[in-house]
Amino acid sequence: MTIKKKIAILGSTGSIGTQALEIARTQKDKIEVEVLTANTNAELLIAQAKEFNPNHVVIADTSKYLQVKEALASEDIKVFAGNNSIAEIMEITSADTVLTAMVGYSGLLPTIKAIENKKRIALANKETLVVAGELITKLCSTHQVNIIPVDSEHSAIFQCLVGEDLNTIEKIILTASGGPFRGKKLDELANVTKAQALKHPNWSMGAKITIDSATLMNKGLEVIEAKWLFGVKDTQIEVVIHPQSIIHSMVEFTDGSIKAQMGLPDMKLPIHYAFFYPERIKTDFTRMNFKNYSTLTFEEPDMQTFRNLKLAYEAMNKGGNMACILNAANEIAVDAFLKDKINFLGIMKLNEKCMQKVSFIAKPTLEDYIETDIETRKIAKDLIG
Domain that holds residue 44: 5-149
pTM (predicted TM-score): 0.92
Per-residue pLDDT of the chain (385 residues; tens, 9 = 90+): 568 999 999 999 999 999 999 999 999 999 999 999 999 999 999 999 999 999 999 999 999 999 999 999 999 999 999 999 999 999 999 999 999 999 878 889 999 999 999 999 999 988 899 999 999 999 999 999 999 999 999 999 999 999 999 899 999 999 999 999 999 999 999 889 999 999 877 766 778 889 999 999 999 999 999 999 999 999 999 999 999 999 999 999 999 999 999 999 999 999 999 999 999 999 999 999 999 999 999 999 999 999 999 999 999 999 999 999 999 999 999 999 999 999 999 999 999 999 999 999 999 999 999 999 999 999 999 999 8
Tell me how far apart the alpha carbons of residues 338 and 130 are, in angstroms, rounded to a whole number: 22
Name, in order, each residue with C-beta under 8 angstroms of 183's C-beta and a sequence gap of 6 or more: none
Instruction: Give me the number of domains the chain comprises.
Output: 2
Residues 184 and 101 in one domain: no
Question: For the chain, how far is it from start to end, CA to CA, in angstroms?
Answer: 60
Q: Which of 278, 300, 318 is the last residue of a domain?
A: 318
Residues 218 and 96 in one domain: no
Cis peptide before 278 (omega within 30 of 0): yes
Q: Which of 330, 328, 323 is nearest to 361 (CA)?
A: 323
Residues 118 and 195 in one domain: no
Does residue 336 sit within a domain?
A: no
Amino acid, res. 328: A
Does residue 364 sit within a domain?
A: no
Give the chain's count of helices (H) and strands (E): 16, 11
Does residue 328 sit within a domain?
A: no
Strand order, beta sheet including 56-59: 78-81, 56-59, 31-38, 5-10, 97-100, 120-123, 147-149
Residues 184 and 136 in one domain: no
Does residue 278 sit within a domain?
A: no
**Which class for 97: exposed (0-12), middle (13-18), buried (19 or more C-beta within 10 A)?**
buried
Residues 192 and 82 in one domain: no
Residues 211 and 133 in one domain: no
Does residue 355 sit within a domain?
A: no
Residues 81 and 120 in one domain: yes
Residues 112 and 207 in one domain: no
Residues 95 and 218 in one domain: no
